[in-house]
Structure 1
Amino acid sequence: MNGRKAAAAAALALGVLAASAAPVAGQEQTDARAYRTADGARETKGAASSADGPMLEAGEVYLDTIDPGEKLYYKINLDARSSTFVGVTAIPRPGDKVAYGDGFDVQLLSADNTKCGGADEKFGFDGRNRPLIDAAARRIDPEGDCQEAGVYNVLIERLSDPTSTPNPWTLELRPRAEPPVKSGPAAGQPQVYPSATPRPNTTATVRDIAGGAGQDDAVGMGDGVWKDKVLPGQTKYYRVPLDWGQSLSTYAEFGTAPVTDESAWLGDGVSVEYYSPSGWHIGGGAEGYNGREQTQVVNYTPKVDYANRTADDDINGYAYAGWYLVTVHVSQDVGDFVKGAVPVTLRTTIGGTAKEGPQYDGDAAQAGFGLTDRDRDAAQRGLTAAEAAAGSDTKTVIAYAGIGAGVLLLAGLGVWTLLARRGSPTAPVGALPENPYQQQPPGGGYGYPGQ
């Protein structure tokens, strides 16, 4: 490598590191509690009338805004073979006041206004400002309504108390379609919850994890014990791969933290929620927190089985193999008596042995309803979807970016000076690679979305 190539390589490497540290375009996260919307999401605007709703396409992600009490219509073209889900994430601004009954209602409606499916999602507790996630569905069912191909309406209504902050909320819409099944073990009896609560994972070595700020950068979380920190008002996002025949249990231990009020306590101050690959909210729990004592939130699931879709509501969300989203939230009001972030230990167990599922007529994993060996590896390595797709351990690059611009600049200048002075055709030991994007050795270790 000659001096010019060395200088270019060093400059390019510094550019990569700087880009890693900089905010992504469209992601103005000046507040650490802010939700990170999907990269490449398409802007849209729902209509006040069903006649004017903009078209949504499965596999895309859309962004919109909604005001208090507003109703917005969208359209989606459905075939007669694929189950389709329209996932909705409603995102208040950090710090905004919300009430117990605030939230949203989403419905998927046929052309003759038959309700094919829907969900309503609410905060459930005054002050628990956080992104709300749920989905409306049209599932393929020979005995169900809405089985015809055609253009359907999606209706989203924001529910808001007069005392709540009237700022607009961001909407992130994620329509997705499950490919039709062509053969395989699709029939059978639905699963049930285990008769005894699963035991916590106590044998794995504790590993650090940094949960994502949204669904798009949710961090892979495999079987193990993981340690993170969550600020009051912040939600962290993890994705866990569950295949057919597997189940999930998490013991979330919210540790003690420095407090300013020895008598304070907040009901439902900490919470953990589960969401299925369909986008449905399928379970969760919340507990009180005072900062002086450890609080534990326990959640677990039945085994994932195609036959679960014929079961009651508390089971039928676990009818899809794929990435399950786990969120961890600390209420913003905890900040009234706790200094800084709350330490959280996640004892995660993926139970059961993966078994053969139905054969889809299409790429189920690509559509979000299946898993690959690469996905399982990404969970154990703690990679986001983007990092896994890039095929390299970009966490190494990001870690360097966090060292600080001054240190990086000095290091880059040092490398440039050393290589430029030598002008040698052979790169010295420790020099930057000719291609600064080349794959790095595996490292790290650290996981997605329900009804």
Structure 2
Amino acid sequence: MAVRVAAAAVVLGATAAVGPGQAAAAGQVSGTPSPYAFADGAQSVEGARSTGEAALLKPGGTYRSSLPSSGKVSYRLDLDAATNAYVSVTAVPSPGSTVSVIDGARVTVQDAEGNTCSVDTASFGAARSPHPIAAWGRRETGKPLCGKAGAYFVSVERVDPDGEGSSPDAWDLELVAMTEPQVADTEATGAPGTWNSATPQPLQGEPQRRKGGAGFSGATPVDQGIWQDDIRPGQTLFYAVPVDWGQQVSVTAELGSSDSGATGYASDALDLDLYNPARGRVADVGVGYNGGQKSGSLPPLPPVDHANRYAATAQVGALRFAGSYYLVAHLSKGVADTFGDGPFVMTLRVRTSGETRGGPEYAGESVPKGVFEVSEQDREAAAEGVAAGDDTAMRALAVGGIGTGSALLVGLGVWTVVARRRITT
């Protein structure tokens, strides 16, 4: 145990300068921030204009593709009749592109007969600041349509490619596919009733520094606490919060005052989104900025419950499984026009309340395994702030100047402590 603690301490010391997910994102320290760090080993796949030529996405796989400015691109899923399937699509415009208020990405899932299983849209909002956005597609076996085994098609398209202010650049895409088994016992068919909907008080205390990652796969683990980081205009930071069955998550985001002395106002300067373990958006909050300290909180959210999927509102329905929930913070590039390039101090007050309880008894394994649960390794990773299961810590050690032999020894210790799952091929 002493060896593992010492190893973690060395890695944390090295990552004080280069946090999880940062080393892979060139340009995040100075200059224009890189928009997104794609998952290591993501397989390149081309979206098809016709569903008849759609490439196969395998559950558990992570893929990289592109989205043209006009028209749909399609991909295929081959599914059985017993599992729910989810596909998340992260769209990444280039930093130099422009977008309209309603522009974004729409993800549609249909069966082989053309029945629509789900539609979801992600947009950039009033700030019109291009940054990574994610929308998800769902095929749920309990619905009247889309319950058969067979081929299903995931279509992705721009929402407003010809809108005022939208540039015709192609966007990069990251796609992940996963499946959730049915439950073994009798499944509830209605959403839970009452829950504590009172606005929780933000946590008080001294903040701790925790550098955000540059993508979903490199999201920095955090648990309940007060976390502080620097963020620049145009930059997007990713964090992962383990939320177990029965727990409620609440977050307040704060943007510190500017030292530029400038006056003005930036609408929705800081955008904070909460995504579930399948990278489906749960809720968001936008924080306007006038150069003084500002804050905003996510709306009150119900406890995580398998039966939430039967709720009438999409926000509650997205809180359908335990696992790593993602906090994605973006500072509008327009902030620089008035208040300079920063960096600006961002504080996240993260609370996970409620007693954890046992989840449903699944009749099989999810793909990837363990994605819809919270393990002890996940909790340890969140406490230490080390994105386990990848080579981020090793990259940080190399940047910190530690020798190869020492890095290997420390890496072995870290992997023992924080062997965390990854959603990759």
Residue 128 of structure 2 aligns to a residue whose secondary structure is coil
CA contact (8 A) 2:56 2:77 kept: yes
Seen in structure 2, the aligned counterparts of structure 1 residues 58 and 192 have a Cα distance that, compared at 3 Å, is farther
1:347 pairs with one of 342, 346, 349? 349
Within-5 A mapping of 1:271-350: 271-291=271-291, 293-299=292-298, 300-312=300-312, 313-339=314-340, 340-350=342-352
Deviation at 1:384, TM superposition (A): 1.6
| C-alpha contact 1:255 1:343 (8 A) present in aligned 2 | yes
- Cα deviation for residue 29 of structure 1 reads 2.9
1:185 CA displacement? 7.2
Alignment partner, residue 37 of structure 2:
36
> Which residue number in structure 2 is paired with residue 384 of structure 1?
387
Q: Distance in 2 between matches of 1:441 and 1:275?
A: 26
The CA deviation at 1:252 is 1.0
CA contact (8 A) 1:43 1:64 kept: yes
Q: Structure 1: how far apart are the matches of 2:345 and 2:127?
A: 23
1:239 partner SS:
strand
1:261 CA displacement: 2.5
> Which residue of the partner structure matches residue 227 of structure 1?
228
Q: Tell me the TM-score normalised to structure 2 length.
A: 0.85
Q: Distance in 2 between matches of 1:271 and 1:89?
A: 16
Shift of 1:402: 4.0
Cα displacement string for residues 118-168 of structure 1 (whole angstroms, at most 9, x for unaligned residues): 111111225221111110101121x52110000111111112125322211
- CA drift of 1:259 comes to 2.3
Q: Does structure 2 conserve the Cα–Cα contact (< 8 Å) formed by 1:59 and 1:367?
A: no
Provide the C-alpha distance between the structure 2 equivalents of 1:259 and 1:433, rounded to a whole number of angstroms: 41
Letter in 2 for 1:304: V
Task: Name the aligned partner's letter for residue 376 of structure 1.
Answer: R
Q: Deviations over 1:204-238 (max 9, x none)?
A: x4211001000010011101111111110111100
Residues 85, 136 of structure 1: 8 Å contact kept: yes
Match of 1:361 among 349, 363, 368: 363
| Equivalent residue letter for 2:192 | P
Equivalent residue for 2:72?
71
Residue 439 of structure 1: aligned partner: 413
The residue aligned with 1:149 is: 149
What is the CA distance between 1:191 and its match in structure 2?
5.1
**What secondary structure is seen at the aligned counterpart in 1 of 2:268?**
strand
Change in Cα spacing, 1:51 to 1:27, as seen in structure 2 (3 Å) is farther
Q: CA RMSD in A?
A: 3.0
With structure 1 as the length reference, what TM-score do the two structures score?
A: 0.80
Deviations 1:230-272 (A, max 9, x none): 110111100111111001011111111222632x111111111
Residue 436 of structure 1: CA displacement?
6.2
Q: Secondary structure at the match of 2:374?
A: coil
Q: How many residues align?
A: 393
Which range moves more in the overlay, 238-247 or 177-186?
177-186
- Stretches of structure 2 that go unaligned for 5 or more consecutive residues are 1-13
Alpha-carbon contact 2:25-2:36 (below 8 Å) kept: no
Check whether the contact 2:100–2:164 (CA below 8 A) recurs between aligned residues.
no
Distance change in 2, residues 1:84/1:271 (3 Å):
same
* 1:11-410 mapped onto 2 (5 Å cutoff): 29-30=26-27, 31-141=32-142, 143-159=143-159, 160=161, 161=163, 163-183=165-185, 186=188, 189-190=191-192, 194-203=196-205, 205-259=206-260, 261-262=262-263, 264-291=264-291, 293-299=292-298, 300-312=300-312, 313-339=314-340, 340-364=342-366, 366-387=369-390, 395=393, 400-403=397-400, 408=401
Q: Secondary structure at the match of 2:153?
A: strand
- Pick closer, same or farther for the CA change 1:48–1:243 going to 2, 3 Å: same
Question: What amino acid sits opposite 1:176 in the alignment?
Answer: M
CA drift at 1:433: 8.9
Q: Determine which structure has more spread, i.e. the larger CA radius of gyration.
A: 1
Cα contact 2:35–2:132 (8 A) shared by 1: no
Extract unaligned runs of 5+ from structure 1. Answer: 1-16, 416-430
**Alpha-carbon distance in 2 for matches of 1:199, 1:87:** 32
Contact 1:217 1:385 in 2 (8 A): no
Instruction: From the superposition, tell whether residues 258 and 214 of structure 1 become closer, same or farther in structure 2 (CA, over 3 Å).
Output: same
Given that 1:186 and 1:357 are in contact with CA atoms closer than 8 Å, whether structure 2 keeps it comes out as: no
